[in-house]
Amino acid sequence: MNKLVKIVLIVIGLVAAALWFFMPSADDPDAINSGAMNFMFIIMYILLAIAVITTVFFGLAKLVSSPASIKKALFAIGGLALVVAISYGLSSSEEAQAVVSTFENNPNLVAEESTVKTIGMGLNVFFILTLIAVGLMVFSGLKKMFVK
């Protein structure tokens, strides 16, 4: 199996290297419609699909290998759901309505209150998870520094 994977990767690499020489110049206005360019995109999508499928497969296989790992995963998913719920609660409707009202004067820009609130929730999730990550790094560093 390992030899087969290596052979397939070598073949894909050689095909991609050969296609490199058939790439159109940067000055060509119709470069995006080139057959070599399209085939390179196809190769990229195939490799991306293989990477995603193998990552999900081996990740799930490792996850279901022991009950302890399933328990950890459920706690992590629950924690993420809690952070998302808190973030949604923190994104206020008043701020979302204020943003929507600023877009009402321009007919080219359309914003709905739910969309603005969802964006605010996403930003809050990012900030909370960043604070948690930085806090855990600081805690880990302090723990290593003082506990020996």
Among candidate residues 95, 103, 100, 102, the one with its CA nearest the CA of residue 124: 95
Helix or strand (DSSP H, E) at 62? helix 35-63
Distance (Å, whole) CA 40 – CA 5: 19
Q: What type of residue sits at position 23? A: M
- pLDDT score of 79 more than 70: yes
Structure confidence by residue, pLDDT tens digits, 82-116: 999 999 888 877 777 777 777 777 777 777 778 88
Q: Which two tokens stand for residue 106?
A: 């321009």
Give the distance from CA 141 to its chain's centroid.
28
Distance (Å, whole) CA 133 – CA 77: 16
Q: Give the pLDDT confidence score for residue 65 in this predicted structure.
A: 87
Angle at 78 between CA 72 and CA 79, to 5 degrees: 90
What rounded mean pLDDT belongs to the chain?
85
Point out the least confidently predicted range of 13-22, 99-108, 117-126, 132-141: 99-108
Among candidate residues 126, 130, 124, 98, the one with its CA nearest the CA of residue 111: 98
Most confident of 8-17, 109-118, 121-130: 121-130
Rounded average pLDDT over 62-86: 91
Name the DSSP class of 32.
G
- What are the structural domain ranges in the chain? 1-65, 67-148
> What confidence category does residue 76 fall into, taking pLDDT thresholds of 50, 70 and 90?
very high
Q: Which two tokens stand for residue 54?
A: 């193998």
